[in-house]
Chains A and B, each alone.
Chain A
Amino acid sequence: MTRKLNPTLLIVLLAFPILWFAPAGLKSYGLYVVALWLVMSIAAMGLNLTLGYAGLTSLAQGAFLGIGAYATAILTVKAGWSLPASFLVSTGLSFAVGIVLGFPALRVKHHYLAFVTLAFSVVVFLVARNEEWLTGGVFGLANIPRPVLFGIDLGGGLAFYRFVLCVTLVLTLVMWWLLHSPWGRAFLAIRENALRAASLGIDIRAYTLLAFAIGSAFGGAAGSLYAPLVEFIDPAPFALSASFVLLLTVVAGGAGSFFGPFVGAFFSYMLPELLRATGGWYLIIYAAVVLVLVMVSPTGLLGLIDRWRDHRSQRRAATIRAAARPTLGARQGPQQGSAS
């Protein structure tokens, strides 16, 4: 088992120093886009746990992003809390709300669950928009501070990006640990066959709630970083469309694959920026790429690589079989050779 795990960890640990140093030459725009990619990767990682590993279709990840962002914005702007404390509270709040929303997940599945979570997204959006005394309503909350941590001012683009990178590393390691713990295997077992999982002594109720709540907590954590990254929030980025884009992110990256969220978030949040070079066509090109991707590979970009790898190994095997055929034929007669 350990031999199989190591490459994933190795990639994470190798990517970290590269991501730490490589964007140093970027200006604030590049840093902002790369930081946004990391933040959205965290949210997508959470959804990947709920959708990819536990098999629960959720359309509420954008709402949890919003809960985290608003909690952090309100605590830092209005109550004057520090970002680390707000981060923990936002993540915890999303976890708690995730448990509450997880209860319907025990009763309904697939697109019915999607409807329940869709309704929840709309409720969160309406609260953010209408409760002006708390959330600033349509005017939003401005001037969300970037903190000074351990004497380091995170106000600059590079410093804040590196802070986001560190948080992403920690959360990625947490997710890795989680997926390779008995919990992670229990999530997979429930997705594959709930009845059999129950017969093996897995408490389906507890694990389903847990998958939902942990996935939501990752959404909240991402929101908590989103607020100081953008320094302004209003309800629009957390509307239903945000949840759809996050769902697309997970599916496009490859649901149930560890690095799927990172690849997917690159696809959803960085690719449109890179396509800006094509001028007025960029959204049309992006939409066409999404269409082609979903048609060609419903298992996502990483699924495409897997399929390519499978295809290659099958071809290699076929070549070996073909090479072996004359020898087999010579020994065992032509009638058996054709069966191989």
Chain B
Amino acid sequence: MTFKTFAAGVALAAAFAAPAFADTVKLIDVIELSGPGAPAGTNWKNGSDLAVAEINAKGGILGKQIELIHYDSQTNPGATRAAVQRAVDEDAYVVLGPIFSGPISASMQITQRAGVPQIVGGEASAFTKQGNPYIFRTSLNQADSMPKLANYLRDEVKAKSVAVVWINNDFGKGGRDAIIPELQKRGIQVAADIATESGQADFAADAIKVKNANADAVFVYLNEEESARFLRAVRQQGIAKPIIGETTLLGAKVIELAGDAANGVKGHVGLLVDAPNPGFQAFGKKYMDKYGFTSDHNGIKGYTAVYTVKTITERIGKFDREAFAKALHGARIDVAQEPGILIDTKWLANGDVDRESFLVEVTNGKPVVKATLPMINP
């Protein structure tokens, strides 16, 4: 009987491969649909579905309809690797996702080896430093965002000391390791350096530590759900110091979950549906109409990732992965040329992106843009 189980396992495993269709172009999205990354992954998935529906309605890419398949990465490096391997086996033209950095690090060698471009949603700085010619971002590298934030803390907030609260995963640790030297360079003292856990439910103790540190400002670098819980804990402790963050802290999901506790939070945001930019606003409305909630930056990333594939493929005039990767390095896509890209974007030689970004403050449960920061190297 056991032997039969073995045989059945092998036979079932043989059924893994799926056929490909010639008149469509296949994009495979390996994304966080369960686990800690699910809020981010769901936004990305919806955004990419929206873009595919629009492009297909207008005739597809070079006359071919896009077939977009989503595989759940479970926010787990091993499962992501299996899914990316499956995507490569199934002859994906481009792999989209994932968003979390650990799963990206575990899977990017597979696409590199197979020569398949991979457009990811990660912000951690490490994976574009490894010379992989097939990895591309959809958002700013955290190493590029942090100097902008440190300037903001020095010039606008006029903070002399900052308490840094971060989440102890590669995203949070990477952000913490990037911001602290930037603060020190500007003569800002780090009054407290507080690590928190992924999936942590109670932030009361951390909020008390922040209160006791009595810094001029609090810098918060957590994932979505943790950010919301931390903001609520901070308000319960009656902390009135400015709370400053990067994209995630000012995201739609955090504002929704934190409620009133999000009011007054300020920071630097890479992508935002409320930005004073007609493209973002139109996208935000379409997304809201279809899914019934406001897209966060990950929805924009998923949407623009698909439009990036479309634009670059049309530029090279064929479905050629190697030519695609070559063309995307150093490419610049302007909204004037492709409105679906939403904001003028430039890709650097290592796959990082450069674009405008925003200084935002949450007022009455809405992120309000206070200033627009230019590209680093326009």
Enumerate chain A residues within 8 angstroms of B105, measured Cβ to Cβ: 139-140, 142, 232, 234
How far, in Å, is A279 (CB) from chain B's closest CB?
8
- Cβ of A154 within 8 Å of any chain B Cβ, yes or no, is no
B69-112 near A? 1/0 per residue, CB < 8 Å: 00110101110011001101100000000000010011001100
User: Contact size class for B?
Assistant: 35 or more
Is B2 in contact with A11, judged by CB distance below 8 angstroms?
A: yes
Instruction: Report whether B17 and A30 are in contact in the complex, using a CB–CB cutoff of 8 Å.
Output: yes
Check B2–A259 contact: CB distance below 8 A.
yes
Q: Name the B residues within 8 Å of A274 (CB-CB).
A: 12
- B241 in the interface (beta carbon within 8 A): no
CA of A316 to CA of B173, assembled, Å: 65
- How far apart sit A137 and B124, CA to CA, in the bound complex (Å)? 14
* B126→A33 contact, CB < 8 A: no
Whether A37 is near chain B, meaning CB under 8 Å from some CB there, is: yes
Q: Which B residues touch A142, using CB under 8 A?
A: 105, 109, 130
Q: Are B13 and A34 in contact (CB under 8 A)?
A: yes
Selecting from B3-11, B250-258, B368-376, the interface stretch reads: B3-11
Most buried by A among B2, B3, B77: B2
> Across the interface, which residues of B come within 8 angstroms of A63, CB to CB?
none
B201 at the interface (CB under 8 A from A): no
B-contacting residues, A229-275, CB 8 Å: 230-234, 236-237, 259, 262-263, 266, 270, 273-274
**B14 and A25 contact, CB distance less than 8 A:** yes
CB closest residue in chain A, given B114: A28
Q: Which 4 A-B pairs have the closest CB atoms?
A: A27-B89, A29-B86, A259-B2, A29-B85
Residue B21, interface by CB 8 Å? no
A3 to B126, CA, bound (A): 59
Say yes or no for B338: interface residue by CB 8 A criterion: no
A129 located at the interface, meaning its Cβ lies under 8 Å from any Cβ of chain B in the complex: yes
Which residue on B lies nearest to A301, using beta carbons? B5
Q: Is B33 an interface residue, CB under 8 A from the partner?
A: yes
Q: In the complex, are the beta carbons of B78 and A36 less than 8 A apart?
A: yes
Q: Are B169 and A138 in contact (CB under 8 A)?
A: yes
Determine if A305 is an interface residue (Cβ-Cβ < 8 Å): yes
| Distance between B326 CB and nearest chain A CB, rounded to angstroms | 24
Residues of A within 8 A of B (CB): 11, 14-15, 18-19, 22-23, 25-30, 32-34, 36-37, 129, 137-140, 142-143, 230-234, 236-237, 259, 262-263, 266, 270, 273-274, 276, 280, 282-283, 301-302, 305
**Among B5, B14, B74, which residue has its beta carbon within 8 angstroms of that of A22?**
B14
In the complex, which residues of chain A have a beta carbon less than 8 angstroms from the beta carbon of B33? 280
Whether A26 contacts B14 by the Cβ 8 Å rule is: yes
In the bound complex, how far is the Cα of B89 from the Cα of A142, in angstroms? 22
Task: Decide: B77 and A32 in contact? CB cutoff 8 A.
Answer: no
Provide the main secondary structure of the chain B interface: helix
Tell me if B16 and A33 are in contact (CB < 8 A).
Answer: yes
Q: How far is the CB of A41 from chain B (nearest CB, A)?
A: 11
B314 at the interface (CB under 8 A from A): no
Q: Give the number of A-B contacts (CB < 8 Å).
A: 123
Distance of A187 Cα from B145 Cα, bound (Å)? 59
Q: Mark B13-34, 1 if CB is under 8 A from A, else 0.
A: 1101100000000000000011
Contacts of B2 in A (CB 8 A): 11, 259, 262-263, 302
Contacts of A22 in B (CB 8 A): 10, 14
Contacts of A283 on B, CB cut-off 8 Å?
Answer: 34, 72, 74
| Chain A residues, CB < 8 A from B5 | 259, 262-263, 266, 301
Contacts of A36 in B (CB 8 A): 78, 82
Chain A CB count within 10 A is highest, among B7, B33, B82, B130, for B82
Pick 16 A–B contacts, CB within 8 A, sort by A. Answer: A26-B17, A27-B16, A28-B110, A29-B85, A29-B89, A30-B14, A33-B16, A137-B173, A138-B172, A140-B77, A140-B106, A143-B109, A232-B106, A237-B76, A237-B77, A270-B12
Q: Are B10 and A138 in contact (CB under 8 A)?
A: no
Task: Identify which of residues 31-83 in chain B touch chain A, using a CB-to-CB cut-off of 8 Å.
Answer: 33-34, 71-72, 74, 76-78, 81-82
Chain A residue nearest to B3 in the complex (CB) = A11
With A22-B10, A33-B13 as contacts: A138 and B173 at CB distance below 8 Å: yes
Kindly state the separation between the CA atoms of A236 and B72 in the bound complex, as whole angstroms.
17
Question: Do B1 and A27 touch across chains, with their CB atoms under 8 A apart?
Answer: no
CB of B265, distance to nearest CB on chain A (Å): 25
CB-based contact B77/A232 at 8 Å: yes
Known contacts A32-B85, A140-B77; 16 further A-B pairs (Cβ under 8 A): A14-B3, A18-B7, A19-B6, A23-B10, A26-B17, A27-B16, A27-B17, A29-B16, A33-B16, A138-B170, A139-B126, A143-B109, A232-B77, A233-B77, A237-B76, A259-B5
